[in-house]
Amino acid sequence: MTTHRPLFAHICLLAGLLITTPQTTHAAQHHAPVGKRGVVAADHVLASQAGLTILKRGGNAVDAACATAFAVGVVNPAGSGIGGGGFMMLHDPKANKRIIIDFRETAPAGASRLMYLKKGLPKHPSRTGGLAVGIPGEVKGCAYAVKRYGKLALAQVLQPAIELARRGFPAGRHFVEGLKRYQKHLSKHKLLKEIFYPGGKPPTLGQMFRRPRLAKTLQAIAKHGPDVFYKGWIAKDIVDAVKAAGGILTHKDLTQYKVAIRHPLKTSFRGHEIYTMPPPSSGGAAIIMALNILRKMKLKTLGHNSSTYLFHLTEALQHAFADRARFMGDHPLTRKLLPKLTSQEYADNLAKRITNKVQSPKAYGSQKRSPKASPRDGGTSHISVIDKDGMAVAMTTTINTGYGSKVIAPRSGIILNNEMDDFSVAPDTPNAYGLIDTRGANAVAPGKRPLSSMTPTIITKEGEPYMVTGSPGGPRIISTVLLTILNVIDWKMDVGESVAASRYHHQWMPDKLRVEPKTSPEVVDALRGMGHEVEVSRREWS
């Protein structure tokens, strides 16, 4: 059996076997290979190979994860790159603890709550152009991780990505289709058009594609370290590009950027310990809330992916996303409320409100109007790694929506993020994914990190890594990781079966249940009969 999902990856350690489902630009096999040095799962086979190369050269899971991330930025520029940021969760087997390295983008010092509501701005200034760019964190995040927890030098970790950018790589299906999809938008920008559409057309499938500017940039970081990115000529290149595109990012913003070290959220589920992301990710809290709501329900009696099963799953997701809109952000209120929101008592009270009928959005949270737009596909990449010593890494990186802000730094070839759109530009105003903030916890503020759905997660059983998981896909990350946990733990699926199973998503607002096209028509009809507005996607989700 094969799958064509290029952007979903997770690793499970089950029954002593290292099981991986790396999704590449080619069809990935649903089987369980055994790794001697370790396994790397990423969204492109060449990125996975970069990580494996580092493991073979004596690196550990942290080295391999960062090498893979740098390579992903070369071969999957729509989703991730050094112009963005992300989260890494590390399982340290010697200390038996989990550590989070937060290298999420942050708002520039000149940012303000109402900055996107000023008159005279272009359409969607938080999504396209210089005002959309947050301070990138990936380079500093990986530099910190490799120095603190890796075995190799940063220069060694960067080498596979440098070679990919310099020598080129065959254009894969996902890369080519993405360029076709974004051609109208990218062609508006001279340098992006020149790089990605030579002769006015995207590369053909299998055509070699080189990124010489980026190769020189990565080589400079390898030689001089992260300071060249945050203080040197690369910093100047980034600041000049953002300024030319109408942005406010300054050299001081870059020099003052810091990674944050955090402790994971934790819950127990069916004999497993689940370690997941705290704020500024909303994903960990949302998944714990949903699991707490579902844990006392007799889900297995309902049948896997039956209409009744999906009805209850959807109810749990709607409660979680409604509370996301009310309480989540890089904000003191969020940190204060987290123990309550992730408690079993709180979930039990929510579960009591679930009936056998579809309820209006007001049953979950107050909202003046429903966003009209359906959530779009996100950029973002997920990487899962485990090495021969049992060190495990779950790492999710992003530049936000496809090709980020559409701003490229001309000398360095860095495509810059549009992470500022992950803030709430105004109360009850949806971002690109239809997500809202009803109380201002995720409002724009200088130095603040925008709320994320990225949810790298590590699950242990009896102290040993059992599952290393995560996903791309904007807010669908949350529903995807939740479904993966339930499929593997509750339904005893192997990884291939879990990846192949249909996926579903409801985020409270818009009030719409989205399903993949492989979903049974009978189930879709039954869900509509229960009162759901069901949108069947035209293609499988990335």
| Domain co-membership, 387 together with 370 | no
Is 509 within a domain? yes
- The pLDDT, as a whole number, for residue 27 is 35
Per-residue pLDDT reduced to its tens digit, 237-253: 999 999 999 999 999 99
- The pLDDT, as a whole number, for residue 371 is 54
> Is 90 exceeded by the pLDDT of residue 534?
yes
Q: Which amino acid is at 399?
A: I
Per-residue pLDDT reduced to its tens digit, 253-272: 999 999 999 999 999 999 99
| Domain co-membership, 316 together with 254 | no
- The pLDDT, as a whole number, for residue 302 is 95
| Domain co-membership, 174 together with 199 | yes
Contact yes or no for 407/129 (Cβ under 8 A): yes
Lowest mean pLDDT among 337-346, 386-395, 432-441: 432-441
| Domain co-membership, 396 together with 532 | no
- The pLDDT, as a whole number, for residue 372 is 54
Contact yes or no for 398/378 (Cβ under 8 A): yes
Tell how strand 208-209 and strand 169-170 pair up: antiparallel
Per the structure, how many domains does the chain have?
2
Sign of CA pseudo-dihedral 3, 513, 363, 331: positive
> Is 60 exceeded by the pLDDT of residue 369?
no
| Domain co-membership, 131 together with 194 | yes
**Parent domain of 280:** 263-375+457-536
Which residue among the candidates 25, 106, 128, 380 is catalytic per the annotation?
A: 380
The pLDDT confidence band at residue 376, using thresholds 50, 70 and 90, is: low
Per-residue pLDDT reduced to its tens digit, 180-229: 999 999 999 999 999 999 999 999 999 999 999 999 999 999 999 999 99
The arithmetic mean of pLDDT across residues 339-346, rounded, is 98
Contact yes or no for 230/253 (Cβ under 8 A): no
**Angle, nearest 10°, between helix axes 233-244 and 212-224?**
140
d(CA 20, CA 42): 10
> Is 90 exceeded by the pLDDT of residue 499?
no
The arithmetic mean of pLDDT across residues 70-78, rounded, is 98
- Indicate the average pLDDT of the chain: 91
Please report, for the domain that includes residue 364, its CATH number: 1.10.246.130
Q: Which amino acid is at 237?
A: D
pLDDT greater at residue 16 or residue 51: 51
Is 116 within a domain? yes
End-to-end CA distance of the chain: 18
pLDDT greater at residue 362 or residue 72: 72
d(CA 311, CA 444): 35
Annotated catalytic, 380? yes
